[in-house]
Structure 1
Amino acid sequence: MPDEINADLFGRDVSYQLPSNWLAYWTFMLRLIVGFWFFHAGITKFLGAEAFDASGYLKFAAQGTLMEGVVAPFASGAPLALVNLMIPLGETLIGLGLLVGLLVRTASFFGVMLMVFFVTINVGWGHGIVNSDLMGLLFFVTMIVLGAGRVWGLDAIVEDTAVVKQNPVLRYFLG
């Protein structure tokens, strides 16, 4: 028997009839696939034959756009070294968090930040504004909204601890 989900969208009633187990399976699969995507992207940058170097991308990123002034300082020197460490480290940790279902909302928040960065400096939007970066952004937002770490993830276990029950604000970082 399907569950009914009711919502109000811009003053109009919207309802879905959806078996809740389908939503749980979808949420779990989305978390695993995006987690693997990011974990793989990060770990291969660490383990690759050549060191990860964002300088080529940053050199041409956002040229002629409003973002050029934001990106240009990171294209060389110490800021570039920081970017070269933080991109693979961030991708690896975000992916790992999603794969095991721990701190999923926090990992997804940082995934959103990376994807916003990638979307806004995408050179000329060669594939249009609707591209894999924007889709990744939407996937991360979806996991935040659905609390994807609670579905077969470690977040469900952590949320049952006394610490989280005594400090309910911590649930915003989990799930």
Structure 2
Amino acid sequence: MNLYLRYFDQEAFATNVDQAIDFLKSIPEIGMDESLEADVRDYAASDVCYPKRYKVRPRVYFIVIKTTAASMRDFKDKKALRSTPSGEHRENVSPSVVRLNQQQPGWYEGALDFKRVVMIPATGKFEYRDTHFVANVKALSALDCYNRIVEYLRQRVDSRSQFPSAKGKNFAYRYLGMWK
């Protein structure tokens, strides 16, 4: 397992933990000490595959990423991604996204919970209010239903209002049947 290290615009690709520690020692701002060196060695030896972030000072970090890439170029080109047994990269698409895009022309009942900007008359200030909106829409798919509802609302509410993603829990739909 190789290591990719980055601190702002300084980056390195190390084939072993000693190279990674030498790179970190070459950056005086990091202040490499024995405990940090031991922690980097433990991370490199562990089975954890997630990137590790180390704090240098408030809001300043360097990262260490484990990779199976053979070189910096392969890492940047993302050639070390996990692949399926057949060797091809498989798209991870959730069933809900597939159902959203499924073409089924007809009437849909779409329900959307969004944050609407409204003015408080007493103070003249604005605030976000949770708003529930339900509409029957003639659409080609559930995603088309969502897009039509959001387009309709954007023309009628404050432009600062926030609309949820069609894939989230704040959008629900029900197919009502074919149009006539």
Q: Report the TM-score when normalising by structure 2.
A: 0.29
What TM-score, normalized by structure 1, do the two folds share?
Answer: 0.30
Pick the structure with more strand per residue.
2
**Greater share of helix residues, 1 or 2?**
1
Which structure's relative contact order is higher, taking Cα pairs within 8 Å and 6+ residues apart?
Answer: 1
